[in-house]
Chain A
Amino acid sequence: QKEVEQNSGPLSVPEGAIASLNCTYSDRGSQSFFWYRQYSGKSPELIMFIYSNGDKEDGRFTAQLNKASQYVSLLIRDSQPSDSATYLCAVNLDTGRRALTFGSGTRLQVQP
């Protein structure tokens, strides 16, 4: 089992719809969770982070964390074509390692 798993996609949604991106992780002791967006050929940029169970909202983005299920998700409301990118889930696993462990990413396509 991979440490951080994501569906590679592509996930295709129409403009204006809600895009739902999911991520599971293997280490129950993980404490912090991050979502990054990466455009083709570019470096990842941080969208949101979440530490506590529940929802965290920032503009059109909502991160959801369920530690019991070892599941974290990202919702994008009112999806725009400019949201088309690969979304990377990253977890600070409870291994003592300070680096983040990344999932393989989900490619999102927002259709105009």
Chain B
Amino acid sequence: GAVVSQHPSWVICKSGTSVKIECRSLDFQATTMFWYRQFPKQSLMLMATSNEGSKATYEQGVEKDKFLINHASLTLSTLTVTSAHPEDSSFYICSARDLRNTGELFFGEGSRLTVL
């Protein structure tokens, strides 16, 4: 299946700092990528849809100024958590749909963010 790579897999940062997470589609072009967040023992919640060459679409309740998304190429989307606080600690997962075949969604490995 298609491969989506995410980096870093885990990060620990101090409160008030910014953290950037990268998501790459390795063997296909993804004009659209999706960023999910998952708190412990909860399901995946869609944060935003990242569109190559245009602004991301954010879900209700997600602050666009806090979670900056950039999708500058067909294979790379980045999520920057700005001025991180402990409540931002979560598992962030990017994904992309491989539209060459049946359009299933493939996930990156996930990035576990811990804000101290």
Contacts and interface: CB of A to CB of B under 8 A. Distances in A.
Nearest to B107: A43
A26 interface: no
A102 B44 contact: yes
A38 B6 CA distance: 17
B97 interface: yes
Nearest to A32: B103
Interface residues of A, number: 22
Given A44-B44, A88-B44, A98 B97 contact: yes
Contacts of B42: 104
Nearest to A107: B41
B25 interface: no
Contact-size category for B: 20 to 34
Contacts of B27: none
8 nearest A-B pairs in the assembled complex, by CB-CB distance? A43-B110, A104-B43, A43-B107, A99-B34, A102-B44, A102-B43, A99-B46, A49-B104
Interface of A: 32, 34, 36, 41-46, 49, 51, 88, 90, 97-105
29 contacts: A32-B103, A34-B104, A42-B109, A43-B6, A43-B93, A43-B109, A43-B110, A44-B44, A44-B93, A44-B107, A45-B107, A46-B1, A46-B104, A46-B105, A49-B104, A88-B43, A88-B44, A90-B105, A97-B49, A98-B34, A98-B49, A98-B97, A99-B34, A99-B46, A99-B49, A100-B34, A100-B105, A101-B46, A105-B43
